[in-house]
Homo-oligomer: A and B are copies of this chain.
């Protein structure tokens, strides 16, 4: 879909849309198990809603492609993830509320421990506390001299972000993280000739950092990855005339929401607080993105029953969403994270779209298998936003 056309069709009035995104929701049956996490979970509210909805399956990127959270979320918001590639460095910077400019290149940082031979002993420097991280960032900030502006900012534990700011900087640099212990860090270099100046700056930065951190016991070096230049995306407001709010508790998701122009609520305590915030802010916005992280985390841990419990908790909170009487409620995932695989996977994700204007199908249970029979069939995730806009009556007719 050409987004120039979609921009023309979008109305600046219409119903409200809620995206309830259960990260990594899609699952698999365990060996000798009774079903996927979603099939095993007791979800009376989701099932009742499914029976009043139109259901289907979404392919985050393309059949068979396992997505990272960044591209998978972009697709849900209608941004073609094969066209809009956003580097992890940029996402990390956005996630700590760092205000990036169009002259910035960002990279993710791990503080690490090198042995005497300069090989990586611990890629996470023993997961140093965040306070220690802050102290080290301040130390680097004060002592490093570069011919261009830079920022080194703590995130959490051993994780930080490096931002270089200047004209003509490029993000096409190899990761210096060797991804395995026992190997030395990789020398920074550019993938394309345009990035050579950026690579020289990074070499300069790392040489100074090594000297400055030499007396540290744990975190005596930095590993950099996910270099990326920040190119602001067209916003949800510009593309769809949606004034949007993100309620998400983890930095990367908040960063991603900010990247597409959503207002982002500060970190809150738990899932119940997220749902409360949704209700409190309901009058002020057109579009709401509520992110549930722990379905993914427990999937990654291979903790089937804990993932089931999170799903059941979301189910118990669902009536609060329906009480708001939004014109469109979407329940789906960015990607699958089956406990069986302990990682993101390529399997399509279940989708439920509730609206008074939907063509109700015969699906009566919200799970990966039942949704195959749904009226939406199997769609790329990037097609979801037009369906949501249509059901909210926010799109004009195309052509006469």
Which residues of chain A have a CB within 8 Å of any CB of chain B? 1-2, 5, 9, 28-29, 36, 57, 61-72, 81-82, 85-88, 91, 226, 341, 343-348, 357, 359-362, 368-369, 372-379, 383, 385-391, 395-400
Contact = CB atoms under 8 A, between A and B. Distances in A.
Specify how many copies of this chain sit in the oligomer: 2
B63 A383 contact: yes
B67 A399 contact: yes
Contacts of A346: 386-387, 390, 395
Given A66-B390, A70-B400, 9 more contacts: A28-B357, A63-B376, A63-B379, A71-B398, A341-B357, A362-B369, A372-B374, A376-B378, A377-B377
Nearest to A81: B399
SS of A interface (majority):
loop
Interface centre among A2, A377, A400 (most CB of B within 10 A): A400
A307 B69 CA distance: 46
A400 B379 CA distance: 22
Nearest to A347: B359
Contacts of A70: 399-400
A369 B376 CA distance: 11
Contacts of A374: 372
B395 A9 contact: no
B5 A397 contact: no
Contacts of A386: 62-65, 346
Contacts of A28: 357, 359
Interface centre among A36, A62, A68, A386 (most CB of B within 10 A): A62
A375 B56 CA distance: 10
Contacts of A377: 57, 372, 377-378
A88 B372 CA distance: 39
Contacts of A226: 400
B372 A372 contact: no
Contacts of A87: 400
Contacts of A344: 397
Contacts of A72: 399
Interface centre among A65, A67, A70, A362 (most CB of B within 10 A): A65
Task: Please provide the 5 A-B residue pairs with the shortest distance between their CB atoms, ordered closest to farther.
Answer: A64-B386, A377-B378, A68-B399, A64-B390, A71-B399
A379 B346 CA distance: 15
A361 B357 contact: no
Nearest to A340: B357
B400 A88 contact: yes
A391 B29 CA distance: 15
A57 B118 CA distance: 55
Contacts of A348: 375
A369 B378 contact: no
A397 B68 contact: yes
B397 A64 contact: no
B375 A375 contact: no
Nearest to A360: B29
A2 to B, nearest CB: 6
Contact of A398 (B5, B66, B383, B395): B66
Contacts of A391: 64
A387 B69 contact: no
A161 to B, nearest CB: 14
A88 B398 CA distance: 12
A28 to B, nearest CB: 6
A1 B62 contact: yes
A69 B400 contact: yes
